[in-house]
Amino acid sequence: MSEERDNPGFTVVDKRGGRDETAEEGAPSQPESTSHTAGGEPPKADLPKPEFGTFLLSLGTSAFYHMGLVQDPETGQPTEPNLPVARQTIDTLELLQEKTRGNLDDDESKLLQNLLTELRMRFIDASK
């Protein structure tokens, strides 16, 4: 057992502090780059500014997906319905409608109302 501790077969290097523990004593450590993604690749493009309408459509698409009305992007097959999750997403949109009443412009308000109407109708159909 003593041999296993002396020669574990691998080396662990902790770089959380930004200091390279394998570097020679007194040598400056290399700062970590923040302009790369987690995979080490540079970002391909800047993300667009978030908009409320896009956020609503994202939630709506999620609800449609969980009702089994959207194909799985990986398999191309219809998804298995998960009605409780779809209901929760619709409830979230209703909460947003309630909490943002009077603060949305006409287009956002109409989008939210139309999206909720469509989701509710489809949910009733999916529940049958």
- Asked whether residue 39 is domain-assigned, the answer is no
Position 21 scores a pLDDT of 47
Does some domain include residue 27? no
Domain housing 105 = 52-127
Q: Would you say residue 90 lies in a domain? A: yes
DSSP 35: S
In single-letter form, the type of residue at position 56 comes to: L
Secondary structure of residue 71 in the 3-state scheme = strand
| Model pLDDT, residue 80 | 93
Using DSSP, state whether 78 is helix, strand or coil.
Answer: strand
How many domains, the chain? 1
Residue ranges in the chain whose pLDDT is less than 50: 20-24, 27, 31, 33
Residues 96, 63: Cα–Cα separation, whole Å: 15
Q: Is residue 104 part of a domain?
A: yes
Q: What count of other Cβ atoms lies within 10 Å of the Cβ of residue 92?
A: 13
Contact 90, 120 (CB under 8 A): yes
Whether 89 maps to a domain, the answer reads yes
Residue 109 placed within a domain: yes
pLDDT of residue 73: 86
In a domain, 114, yes or no: yes
**Contact 20/29 with Cβ under 8 angstroms?**
yes
pTM above 0.85, yes or no: no
| Residue 51 to residue 8: CA distance in whole angstroms | 52
